[in-house]
Amino acid sequence: MQTTELEQLIEQITDEIVQRFGVLPAASSACRCHTVAVTSCPDRVRFIIECGADRVGLHSTAPPVSREMAQYIDHTILKPEASLEDVSKLCREAMENQFAAVCVNPSYVRHAARMVCGTSVAVASVVGFPLGATLPDVKAYETRRVIGDGAREVDMVINVGALKSLDDDLLRRDLQAVVEACRDYEVLSKVIIETALLTDDEKVKACLLAKAAGADYVKTSTGFSSGGATPEDVALMRRVVGKEIGVKASGGIRDRATAQKMIEAGATRIGASASVKIVKEAKLD
Amino acid sequence: MQTTELEQLIEQITDEIVQRFGVLPAASSACRCHTVAVTSCPDRVRFIIECGADRVGLHSTAPPVSREMAQYIDHTILKPEASLEDVSKLCREAMENQFAAVCVNPSYVRHAARMVCGTSVAVASVVGFPLGATLPDVKAYETRRVIGDGAREVDMVINVGALKSLDDDLLRRDLQAVVEACRDYEVLSKVIIETALLTDDEKVKACLLAKAAGADYVKTSTGFSSGGATPEDVALMRRVVGKEIGVKASGGIRDRATAQKMIEAGATRIGASASVKIVKEAKLD
């Protein structure tokens, strides 16, 4: 059987399942195209209507807690002393557990991209990390370089000093530099606002500017500052950005209970190093 | 009197002092051209011989403890939440106390360069900071950008992961990328090896590679890792690099006694935030 024939057959079977049961098959249970619960995914809704449905059940603002934990997780190693072998291990664990992505420093992107090539695991990298205090065009250059090496997701750090100095022009240029470079290559952009250093007003402003710049996610923390994610910050960020873009909780998430709290507060992605422990705990429940 | 006439007069008086007393005048007591004690400065030796001396007294390997403390210090603010006003204050303090340099994050270089323009205070900035885990060409780009904005000294972080992974090729490319960009503009390069993360063998290797790449200084720490400078590490680094290049001690140096210990161990530059406190304590002695 030819590959195209096989693909057509799979598509026919998929259509049949959808028409009979009104749901997308399990392989698509994670909505990768939007950062909402799969049951609220616009593509799913359109698809079901095209299949002949005259009523569609949707989740409202409730977080997608039923989605399997592993699919939320960016399996992360960013400590400077991480070796090539540490990164290889991270990639193997990510593939075994079907994590959403591995998140590595720029100099390891090429190696990670080779390792996870052909799997559902994306490679994420970091830009202007972890201080966010470099120049917009340096961040843009770094973004293009990690994308060139294989990153499909970019986690950039906002210029916190510019936020503290009320330099909105620099903040906008900083965000645009990275978000636009990501868009050029259809790569996801996540904006780390480093909540531990901000007042609530500053958190709100940072989220609004990130959303306005066209970021795909706002993210709580680098994991290198004085504090990490809290459910309160995640909930605040979710309220500010609405349902249109994602919220990633990261920093200090070391067990399933904490991860679950973040998801319940509105997180659609979790950054963690203890990811394997988290999913093992999730399976025991 | 014209400025040129005044300059000629000052030069004549200076020459007279040197010929009569065999020493450089006080204004030159800090050797800026070499990272050795002023009494061992090759330029001074040549100068004195040219003046007719037939014997020159030199310090041997003893550290230049008599040099005034302020001239050792890079007055530093690198925390991401530092505001424009914090950087302005830093620059004012550096000018008042005649510190060697201010050290600021890339996005503040232009502002700092404007503030200290026309004074003896240099602007230093950081590259690949503080993880050192980005790509060599990103570091080179960042180096050129901060130099373009007015930095005269660049403190770069070595790729610690490459050191741990025994990837000597990447380490060399990483160092060369920054050192060569600095040389193009006659800017000082300092290589941060992040001693807290390294074994003694790794410290030695990092210093040798930095020296071989043509760096002007090796530097102990970023101040963002698990530990800062120790006199033992400074002494080790001094032994490895010899007298030809500088050693900068940084991270956790908060008082005069600690700063003095670093200088006695062989440091020729001190990175500190508590610089004003350190020089006030030094004056009280």
Domains identified in chain A and CATH numbers: 68-284 (3.20.20.70)
Catalytic residue among A155, A174, A216, A233: A155
Residue A261, φ and ψ in degrees, nearest 5: -60, -40
Q: Is A155 a catalytic residue?
A: yes
The whole-number average pLDDT for the span B92-116 is 98
The whole-number average pLDDT for the span A79-100 is 98
Kindly state the percentage of chain B with pLDDT values over 70: 76
Q: Which helix (H) or strand (E) holds B37?
A: none
Q: Is B155 a catalytic residue?
A: yes
Q: Is B219 a catalytic residue?
A: yes
Q: Does B29 score more than 50 pLDDT?
A: no
Alpha carbon distance A244, A255 (integer Å): 28
Query: What does the DSSP 8-state code read for residue A129?
Result: T
Give how far A145 is from chain B: nearest CA, Å. 8
What is residue B23's three-state secondary structure?
A: coil
The pLDDT, as a whole number, for residue B236 is: 98
Sign of CA dihedral A165, A167, A170, A175: positive
Of the candidates B106, B103, B28, B101, the one whose C-alpha atom is nearest the C-alpha of residue B67 is B28
The whole-number average pLDDT for the span A13-22 is 50
Q: Does A55 score more than 70 pLDDT?
A: no
Query: Do A108 and A81 form a contact (C-beta atoms < 8 A)?
Result: no
* Residues from chain A contacting residue B135 (CB–CB below 8 Å): 106-107, 142, 145-146, 149
* Residues from chain A contacting residue B171 (CB–CB below 8 Å): none
Kindly report, residue by residue over A137-152, the tens digit of the pLDDT: 999 999 999 999 999 9
In the block, residue with structure tokens 């323009």:
B117
In the block, residue with structure tokens 């005069």:
B256
**A165-174, B28-37, B122-131, B223-232 — which is least confidently predicted?**
B28-37
Alpha carbon distance A269, A72 (integer Å): 5
The whole-number average pLDDT for the span B238-259 is 97
Q: Does A34 score more than 80 pLDDT?
A: no
The pLDDT, as a whole number, for residue A196 is: 98
Average pLDDT of every residue of chain B: 86
* Residues from chain A contacting residue B80 (CB–CB below 8 Å): 130-133, 157, 160-161, 194, 197, 225
How many contiguous H segments (helices) and E segments (strands) does chain B have? 11, 8
Q: Does A241 score more than 70 pLDDT?
A: yes
Query: Do B117 and B107 form a contact (C-beta atoms < 8 A)?
Result: no
Alpha carbon distance A234, A218 (integer Å): 9
List residues bridging with B157 in a β-sheet: B192
Give me the residue from B105, B161, B225 closest to A134, CB to CB.
B105
Max CA distance (Å), chain B? 65
* Cβ pair B161:A107 closer than 8 A: yes
Kindly report, residue by residue over A158-185, the tens digit of the pLDDT: 999 999 999 999 999 999 999 999 999 9
Kindly state the percentage of chain B with pLDDT values over 90: 74
Alpha carbon distance A63, A77 (integer Å): 27
Q: Does B17 score more than 70 pLDDT?
A: no
Q: Which two tokens stand for residue B192?
A: 């941060």
Average pLDDT of every residue of chain A: 86
Alpha carbon distance A96, A52 (integer Å): 37
Query: What does the DSSP 8-state code read for residue B272?
Result: E
Side chain identity at B222, as an amino acid letter?
Answer: T
Q: Does B7 score more than 50 pLDDT?
A: yes
Q: Read off the pTM.
A: 0.79
The pLDDT, as a whole number, for residue A13 is: 61
The pLDDT, as a whole number, for residue B21 is: 44
Query: What does the DSSP 8-state code read for residue B54?
Result: S
